[in-house]
Amino acid sequence: MTGKPPPALELSDVHYSYPDGHGALRGVSLRVEAGERVAVLGPNGAGKSTLCLQLNGILEPTRGSVSVCGMAVGRKNLKEVRRRLGVVFQDPDDMLFMPTVEQDVAFGPSNLGLSEKEACARVEGALFDVGMEGMGGRSPHHLSHGQKKKAATAAVLSMEPEVLVLDEPSASLDPRARREFGAILAGLSQTIVMVTHDLPYAHELCERSVIIDGGRIAADGPTSDILGDAELLAAHDLELPHGFVMNHH
């Protein structure tokens, strides 16, 4: 069958409520095509992280549906969905639990039933992708925060996902680590969805941005248009850093 691949992600009318109503989703519809890079922007508590957890089925929508690469996200497809869509969580310490970086990166592939040779090749490839070749023997506890972020990303990349979702990718990174991590993301071939309130990062890495506020999508368009609309940003508690100048790609 030829023709257009299915969308990398499709959410239709997704509702989700936490018991206290905070961070809930109230009818989110969003379609991301294969190969797109989309930033999901919004104030804290707007539902951004909740959205991330819907994408790989950690949370199930109260109403509406989510699909990844044309597969419905639900119990029977979870394993396959999680192979195709990898989430890099905000805190890398939540993702690193083995004695060495190499073992953390090998954890996913070793559960796919690959040969040892193929699993090793994936680990090496993923460490190379994040600029950590030769560091596989290190203990994650002795890494800087920036290195932990790279190791956690390598652990997701070793699964060779088609879609990469990053929750606040620049959180707690110093300027140099933030720049290095941005360069790594820029070099990847996956469809990328980046949940962030770091607007310059969105501008640098994603050509499309979506604002989520109050659990709904408030805007969706080219990042340069959205970041260029001061009133829109102000209305959703988003602020460009002082002196930030938009350079149009």
- Checking if the pLDDT of 36 tops 80, the result is yes
- Per-domain residue ranges of the chain: 9-91+161-235
DSSP the chain: --SPPPPSEEEEEEEE--TT-TT-EEEEEEEE-TT-EEEEE--TTSSHHHHHHHHTTSS--SEEEEEETTEE-SGGGHHHHHHHEEEE-S-GGGT--SSSHHHHHHHHHHTTT--HHHHHHHHHHHHHHTT-TT-TTS-GGGS-HHHHHHHHHHHHHTT--SEEEEESTTTT--HHHHHHHHHHHHT--SEEEEEES-HHHHHHH-SEEEEEETTEEEEEEEHHHHHT-HHHHHHTT--PPTT------
pLDDT at 2 over 70: no
Residue 65 pLDDT greater than 90, yes or no = yes
Q: Is the whole model's pTM more than 0.85, yes or no?
A: yes
Average pLDDT, the chain: 91
Q: What pLDDT was estimated at residue 35?
A: 95
Determine the average pLDDT of the residues in 91-98.
Answer: 92
Instruction: Domain 9-91+161-235: give its CATH code.
Output: 3.40.50.300
Read off the pLDDT of residues 133-173 as tens digits, 9 standing for 90 and up.
Answer: 999 999 999 999 999 999 999 999 999 999 999 999 998 99
